Amino acid sequence: MGKHFVVTFPDIGEGVHEGEIIEWLKKEGDTLCQDEPVVVVMTDKATVELPAPQPGRLAKQHYQPGQMALKDSPLYEIELAEGQDDNPETITPPAVPQDAGLNLAANLNKPSSSPLKSAQKEKPKDGAAMAIPQVRRLASELGIDLDKIHGSGKDGRVVLEDLHSKEKGVRGSSPVLSLPDDEVIQVIGIKKLMAQKMAESKARIPHFSYFESADATRLIQLKQHVKHEAKEEGLHLTYMPFIIRALSFCIKTYPLLNSSYDDETSKLHIHKHHNIGIAMSTPLGLIVPVLKGLESMSMGQLVHAYEELIDRARTSKLLSSDMKDATITISNFGIAGHGRWATPIINFPEVAILAVAKIHQQPVVKEGNIVIGNLINLSWSFDHRVIDGDLAMHISDTFCKLLQNPAQLL
């Protein structure tokens, strides 16, 4: 029997001391080539495949998917071939670059650069389909056999688009199968991280909510007026840049909106920069990319920055730096449906969050007459330690006036 190398969890950087095991790409007993991906791990900064530092056989896995591995703790062991090395030692895989990418949906579809790239790009010898862990998990949830799909990605790799095409075909031609009762699903990855963050926020922040509607008539007219100019610049103008701009204006009037409360030291930190997080849903869970430095942007710069950020999110090209340093968050739940109100959870350690509904029409009274109005519903949640009811009322009233007279936002 050959000697064992003990591979430890690497130093990711940026103060990260642990990571979650997402998926083992190799099982115990499998042969490993040097630089071949062995395990997928996720921290709150990035999701990466860790390669084997030495060739050999995977002798032992020290963690199961869903468990947390501590920095420098044993991750797995490699049994070396006879005579390969007579001195057992501990090896740490190469440290992961700080902006290695979030890999939220398909980032791992791309061949990665050394030292994280795999030395084996061809289809596995056993004929199994090539796909990243996220694709494999989604295929399992949908009941799709990856080996029966011709992948459209590089070297025949199965990508998310292949699953979506297959799912449409299955829905149209196959009967719906009933699932057994009491299905147990292990929550891992981004969804697990989101669950932990939301539980922490709800437990540590004393929330209260405030609701108000704004007349969106002039906002609709202004967007219609400037959309042609935006289109000429290659931009798809939505209402979100106006909403983001109005929130930044509100922060200038009420700086407490842009603060965080340290409950251990009882100190309130008021942030200079307006870094607004945009909550959005992905197939893998909730993410909050951040628009930074809005206090110094013009409306045109904001629209460009917003479009670029959303495009990176849609194409799974977000970097870890895109997900950090938010000082307040907006949730545009109007994109997903026709709900009117929400009670959003504040993103700890922020002190407020705004949830925006879809613009809708309903009867309103104007000058004693009943007319059809265009309303946008606003659902705020505030940290009651920092913002009381009276301040919340003034914040929301100021925000509504900005939306109702949006020319000042340009």
Q: Looking at residue 27, what DSSP letter applies?
A: -
Question: Is residue 388 flagged as an active site residue?
Answer: yes
CB 59 within 8 A of CB 4: yes
User: Across the strands, what pairs with 354?
Assistant: 330, 380
Cα-atom radius of gyration of the chain, to the nearest Å? 25
Tokens of 349: 């350690």
CA nearest neighbour of 386 among 298, 279, 228, 261: 261
Tokens of 157: 């790799």
Q: Which of 62, 207, 384, 394 is catalytic?
A: 384
CB 25 within 8 A of CB 39: yes
**String of b and e for 106-131 (b: at least 16 CB within 10 Å)?**
bbbbbebeeebbbeeeeeeeeeebbb
Question: Is residue 236 flagged as an active site residue?
Answer: no
Per-residue CA distances from 284 to 192, 391, 404 (Å): 10, 37, 36
Q: Which of 269, 388, 390, 397 is catalytic?
A: 388
Catalytic residues, by residue number, are: 384, 388
